[in-house]
A and B are shown apart, each in its own frame.
Chain A
Amino acid sequence: MLKYLARRLSATFLVITLVSMSVFGIFAVLPMDPAALTCGKACSAPVIEANRHRLGLDVPVQVQYGRFVKGLFVGRDFGEGAAAFHCPAPAFGYSYNRHECVTTLVAEAFPVTLSLAVGAFVLWLSVGVSLGILAARRKNEWQDRAATAFVLIGTSLPTFISGILILLFVALKFNLINPIEMGRWVSPLEDPVAWFRTFIFPWIVLALLYAATYTRFTRSNVIETSTEDYIRTARAKGLNERDILRKHTLRAALAPIITLAGLDFAGLLGGAIITEGIFNLPGLGRLSIRAVLRDYDLPTILATTILAAVFVIVANLLVDILYAYIDPRVRVAS
C-alpha cells in the first residue's frame, strides 16, 4: 500500500507541475495582449510598454513561470518605486484592477465557494443516493417511475434555467430571500441562520442537477450488484434483507459512486460560475468570470484556473486512495 501511495503522490506532483506550466503556456500564446487591454484610458505605445513591464510580461515566458513559482513559496514584489508592494507567500500574482494581491482575492472568495460546494454535495449525495436505492428496490413500481421522472427533469434543466426559475418563482415570490442582502457573505460561525438562508437556494439549484445523475447511477449500480452471486450467498447464509442491503449490496454498489462524487465535488470547488452569478455570490466562480469577461485580469485568471485544476488533481488522488481502501483487489493490481 505504501509503495502505491508513494507512486501516486509523485505522479500527482508531476501532474500539478505540468498543468501549471501548460496554463502558463496557453496564456502566453493567446492572441490578446493583456498589456494593451488593461492599460486604462490613454493607451499609447509607451503606456502599453510601461504596462507590459509592470505586468511582468516583457520577460520570456519561462522567466515569468519561474517568478510565479518563486512567488508561491516566498512571496513576490510587484510594481516599482512608490507603487511597489509585496504579496506574501503564497503569491499568485497581483491584480491591478482590484488593487489587491490575488491570493487575498482568492482567500476571500474561497469560503463562499466552499460553502456552496459542501452544502450542495451533502444535499445531492443524500437525495441522489437515497432516491436511487429506493428506485432500485422498488424497480418498475411507481416509486421507480417517479424517480426516473425526477432524473429526466433534473438532468435536462441547465442551472441557468432552474436557477432563474427558482429565484423568481420561489425565493423572491415568497419573500424567502431579501434581494438586497442576497449574496452577502456571512460566516456560518458568526450567523448560521443567515448563512443558511444565503445558500439554501443555490444549494437546491446545484443539487438538482447532480442529484438526478446520482439517482440514476445509484439505481443501476444497486440493481446490478443485487444480481451478483455473493448476494445470493449472503441470503443463503440467513442474513436479513436489511443487512444484505447495508453490508453487502451498498458497499459494492456505492464504492464507484463515492469516488465519482469526490471528483464532482472537487470540480465544484473551482467555482460554480452560473449559480454564483444568479444568486450574486462572491465566490471563485464570480471572481474568475469577472476576471475573464470584464477585466481581463490575467493574474487572477491564471490563479483561478490553476487552482481549479489542482483541486481536481488532488481529489483524484484522494479518491484513488479511498477506492484502494474499499476494494482490496485494487491494492494488488497496483
Chain B
Amino acid sequence: MTLKPFLEVKNLNVAFPTEDGLVQASNDISFTVARGETLAVVGESGSGKSVTSLAVMGLHDRKRTQITGQAFLNLESGPVDVISADAEVVRKLRGKAMSMIFQDPMSALHPYYSIGNQLIEAWSLYNEGDKAAGKKRAIEMLDLVGIPDASKRVDEFPHQFSGGMRQRVMIAMALINNPSLLIADEPTTALDVTVQSQILQLIREMQKEFNMALILITHDLGVVAEVADRVNVMYAGKIVESGSAEDIYYRPDHPYSIGLLNSIPKIGELDSKRLVAIPGQPPSLINLPRGCSFRARCSFSDRVANNLCATTAPTLDTKTTDHFSRCHLTEAELVKARKESGGI
C-alpha cells in the first residue's frame, strides 16, 4: 500500500474582502507533499505563495478571510481537513504535526523572554513534564541546530544572538515536537549569503533527521534549484506551472517561468548577454482580468488561436502528467518559445 502524501491541498481559495474589493490572493491551489519530499513554491510579491501556507497552518483571521477548498493532513489517526476543521483542532496541530518558520529572524522571537523560555513554552504545549525536562530538550535541540555552548546560551535573550543564530533557534523551536510538515517561508532572504547556505544545509539535514515534508517558499530561483524536488511556480494567486526541479529549469512550460529564468543573471555565465526582462508589472489581485492573468506580460499570447488568452482562463491538467502548466500554448509552441527567448 502506498502511503498517502502527508499534505494534500485541493482547490484551495483564499480571499480577503477589502474596502476596494475582494482580493483573490490564492486561487484554485492543489498540490501534495510527501514526507521526505521538498516542494518549493516560487513567486514574486502578490503571487499568493505565502497566503496558501498560512491557510494550511490556520493562521489567517477567520473573521477577515474567506477560505474555501480543502487541505488534508494525513495523520496516523486519520486525515484532518484543516480548512473545515474547528479552530481548536487546527491549533493543536500547530507546532505538533506542522510547523512554520518565517522570514525575518530578527523580529520573530519575543524580546523579553530568554530563548530557553520560548523553546520550553513550545515543548510544554505538547509534552508532559516539568521545566527541567523541557530545558533538557531545549538544549538538545539547540545542539542539534548547531548553536555552540548550548547549555549556557539557552538562558540568553534573543538580542544576544546574530541573525543566523536566531534563525537556527527558530528552526529548533519549530522542530522541538517532531512535526511531520515544515513550512519555511523565505527563511534565508534576510540573511547574508554565507549564512544562507548554512541555514539551507541545516534545514535539509533536519528534514532527513525528522523525515518531514518540507515546503520552501522563496523568490530565489537559485535556492529552489539547490533544494527542491518539486516546484510550484505561482503568479497572481494561481499555480501556473508545477513539476520536478529539472522539469522547471530545463523544460519550462509556461511563458512566465521561461521569462523568469531568462531574466536572472546566472553566476558562472560570464558572457554578459543582455538580460531578457519580463515587461510590465504583476497585476492587482482585485478584479483580475478575464482570461489568463499573465496575458498582459506574455510575449507569446498572439500565437494562440481565437484570442483564447483574452477570453478563457487556462486550466491545469494535473491528471495525465507530473509536469503541468496553466497555458493555452501547445507543447510544440512552448518548445519554440523556449528556443526563441534565447535561453533554455
Q: Which residues of A contact B (CB under 8 A)?
A: 228-230, 232-240, 247-248, 251-252, 255, 326-329, 332
Contacts and interface: CB of A to CB of B under 8 A. Distances in A.
A238 B114 CA distance: 19
Contacts of A247: 121
B109 A230 contact: yes
Contacts of B112: 251-252, 255, 326-328
B95 interface: yes
A234 B59 contact: no
Nearest to B88: A240
Contacts of A332: 159-160
B247 interface: no
Contacts of A237: 94-95, 99, 121-122, 125, 173
Interface in B53-98: 57, 59, 88, 91-96
B159 A238 contact: no
Nearest to A333: B159
A234 to B, nearest CB: 7
Identify which of A240, A255, A328 gathers the most chain B CB atoms within 10 Å of its CB. A328
Nearest to B91: A238
Contacts of B95: 236-238
A280 B91 CA distance: 57
Interface residues of B, number: 31
B104 interface: yes
A221 B343 CA distance: 52
B157 interface: yes
Interface string B100-138: 101010011111111000000110011000000000000
B59 A238 contact: no
Contact of A329 (B91, B96, B114, B159): B159
A230 B107 contact: yes
B252 to A, nearest CB: 33
Identify which of B107, B110, B111, B122 gathers the most chain A CB atoms within 10 Å of its CB. B110
**Pairs of residues from A and B, 3 with the lowest C-beta to C-beta distance, nearest first:** A238-B95, A238-B94, A229-B107
Contacts of A329: 111, 157, 159
A190 to B, nearest CB: 43
B240 interface: no
B15 interface: no
Contact of A328 (B96, B104, B111): B111
A240 B170 CA distance: 19
Contacts of A240: 88, 91
Interface in B160-174: 160, 170, 173-174
Contacts of A228: 107
Given A238-B94, A327-B112, A232 B126 contact: no
B99 A236 contact: yes
Given A229-B102, A328-B159, A329-B157, A236 B111 contact: no
Nearest to B110: A230
Given A229-B102, A236-B100, A238-B125, A252 B91 contact: no
Contacts of A236: 57, 59, 94-95, 99-100, 102, 174
Contacts of B109: 230, 233
Contacts of B111: 230, 252, 327-329
Interface in B178-208: none
Contacts of B122: 237-238
Contacts of A255: 112
Contact of B110 (A235, A238, A252): A252
Contacts of B100: 236
A94 to B, nearest CB: 50
B163 to A, nearest CB: 13
16 contacts: A229-B104, A230-B107, A230-B110, A236-B57, A236-B59, A237-B121, A237-B125, A238-B91, A238-B92, A238-B96, A238-B126, A240-B91, A251-B112, A252-B110, A255-B112, A329-B111
Contacts of B59: 232, 235-236
Contacts of A248: 110
Given A235-B59, A238-B95, A332-B159, A229 B125 contact: no
Given A233-B170, A236-B59, A328-B157, 16 more contacts: A233-B109, A234-B110, A236-B95, A236-B100, A236-B102, A236-B174, A237-B95, A237-B99, A238-B93, A238-B94, A238-B96, A247-B121, A248-B110, A255-B112, A327-B112, A328-B111
Nearest to A230: B110
A232 B110 CA distance: 10
B156 to A, nearest CB: 9
A242 to B, nearest CB: 11
Nearest to B119: A237
Given A235-B59, A236-B100, A328-B159, A230 B125 contact: no
B344 to A, nearest CB: 37
B8 to A, nearest CB: 21
B184 to A, nearest CB: 12
A329 to B, nearest CB: 5
A240 B124 CA distance: 13
Contacts of B93: 238
